[in-house]
Amino acid sequence: MPLISVIIPAFNAAPTLETTLRSVMNQNFVDIEILVIDDGSDDETVAIAQRLAKEDSRIYVFSYPNGGVSASRNRGICHAQGEYLSFIDADDLWTSNKLAAQYEALQIHKKAAVAYSWTDNIDAEGNLVQEGIRTQAAGYILPELLQINLLQNGSNPLIRRFAFETVGGFDESLLNADDWDMWLRLAQHYEFVLVAEPQVLYRRSETSKSAKVLRMEQHARRVIDKAFAQAPKQLQSLKVKSLANLYKYLAYKALQGVPSALDRQRVLSALRFLFTSYYYQPVLLKKWKPLVKMTLRSLVCLSFPPNHAEKIIAHFIPSHMPF
């Protein structure tokens, strides 16, 4: 049996799936199986996966009706044979040493059930656009993880299989933040170990629509409320910072790119997110300059026609505001 099972949820992933698969196929750690879980795709996703399966016997393809990414991950867990599990979305990439480094970290730190790495953000062409969070959190990381999703995405950790028997599968009712929910549940029971290298390349979309950001708000709030309902009493004071961080992130997502005249609702949502973050953490007005820049960006988009707004933003307000 393979030591590590890699699970790839894939829905209409034809444009990126082969690149993602090859980043897994080219791992230095070779004792793996690669499970592509087709989630009801109607493009060439299955054909691409099956073609690569002929090239690499470690690849297995399973097709299901559409159920969402959490359902696909859970389906993959059911098929997995490995002692360790890792997940990668069908548009993300790994560096070639990702699995090897995380596996080694777990062998050194026997108490840890989860190994994770740093993430960098890439664009549609695979170019680096922004460094991710350079955390140093390890061991009992629940306090840090309650405040922000340090792992940043679902393509990051390597997890001992028995940990899922303790916490259960991914919550299929969550359409966003389902990965954060899982990491929080794991952190309640197990230690984490960090591989302090950027080994996960997360493909960032610049086309988030207001409806998706609003859905993200709804489901992330559910995750936060559930996590703090189960968190120890001494950590309850962290909830306001968790909410402030969430609304900073939502504002950032809403303002990616220069909204057009058709995106007025998106800009209004961004302003609401910004003022909500101020409400939960007023000190941000004085100490977090990018948040102020986002507020100005929103006001410019609301006050000027799209072409003029784009010029003003390009000259006076940087488009890449680190978060």
DSSP for 225-257, written as a single string: HHHHHHS-GGGGGGHHHHHHHHHHHHHHHHTSS
Number of H helices, E strands in the chain: 13, 9
Cα(24)–Cα(17) distance, integer angstroms: 11
Task: Give SS3 for 62.
Answer: strand
Cα(170)–Cα(158) distance, integer angstroms: 15
Q: What is the pLDDT of residue 322?
A: 41
Query: Exposed/middle/buried for 206, CB within 10 Å: 0-12, 13-18, 19+?
Result: exposed
Task: Give SS3 for 266.
Answer: helix
The DSSP bridge pattern shows strands 84-87 and 158-160 to be antiparallel
Written as one letter, the residue type at 249 is: Y
| Series of mean pLDDT values for 10-residue runs along the chain (323 residues) | 97 97 98 98 98 98 97 98 98 98 98 98 89 96 97 97 96 96 98 98 67 90 97 97 94 69 71 89 69 68 66 56 40
Q: Phi, psi at residue 41, to the nearest 5°?
A: -65, 150
Cα(283)–Cα(276) distance, integer angstroms: 13
Q: What is the pLDDT of residue 77?
A: 98
Name the DSSP class of 258: -
Q: What is the pLDDT of residue 208?
A: 40
DSSP helix, strand, coil percent of the chain (3-state; round to 5): 50, 20, 35
Task: Give SS3 for 39.
Answer: strand
Place of tokens 């990965």: 179
Q: What is the pLDDT of residue 108?
A: 98
The DSSP bridge pattern shows strands 4-10 and 93-94 to be unpaired
Q: What is the pLDDT of residue 218?
A: 96
Which parts of 45-156 fold into alpha helices (H)? Answer: 45-55, 69-79, 98-108, 142-147
Q: Which of 142, 134, 148 is nearest to 242 (CA)?
A: 148
Q: Are 91 and 13 in contact (CB under 8 A)?
A: yes
Q: What is the pLDDT of residue 268?
A: 82
Q: What is the pLDDT of residue 323?
A: 37
Q: Which domains does the chain have, with CATH numbers?
A: 4-203 (3.90.550.10), 212-316 (no CATH)
- pTM listed for this prediction: 0.89
